[in-house]
Amino acid sequence: MTQVGSSLGVACESRGPGGWRLEAQFQVAAAPVLRRELERLGWWGRGRPADLSTLLDAHLLFGDDLVSHETALSVAELGELAAALALSRRHDDLCAQLLAWHALARSLEASGRPARLAVWWSG
């Protein structure tokens, strides 16, 4: 059961010479749908990466809400997730968001900066 005030957080990070860097934080069009898909794929709550960017790590550690179910998604996994939702043809807004996030992550990788998405539950 979802608590009132709970939310899904999503951020994109890229890695450069100094380590991981927060590139963007996103609002989620259909957080319950995204959470269900991550659970279905077995990717929900795999744990917080030990090497999060300093800014994102501080946000998660010192934010107002309790954070749980952290996970990181590779660019390939993000593409798989977008493709799975596109096939279902039921969640167009979320699918469009995933495709945009995937394009951002791919563009970072094309510029020589490995990328990933961090996802977490707060509240």
Q: What secondary structure does DSSP assign to 21-35, as a single string?
A: EEEEEE--TTHHHHH
How far is Cα 45 from Cα 90, in angstroms, rounded to an integer? 24
pLDDT digits (tens, 9 = 90+) for 3-13: 445 689 999 99
| pLDDT score recorded for residue 5 | 54
Does the pLDDT at position 36 exceed 50?
A: yes
Instruction: Name the amino acid, one letter, at 17.
Output: P
| pLDDT score recorded for residue 121 | 92
- Residue 85: pLDDT band (50, 70, 90) is confident
| pLDDT score recorded for residue 1 | 31
The highest-confidence range among 24-38, 78-92, 99-113, by mean pLDDT, is 99-113
CB 25 within 8 A of CB 1: no
Rounding to the nearest 10 degrees, give the CA dihedral for residues 57, 113, 78, 45. -20
Which is higher by pLDDT, 27 or 91?
Answer: 27
| pLDDT score recorded for residue 6 | 66
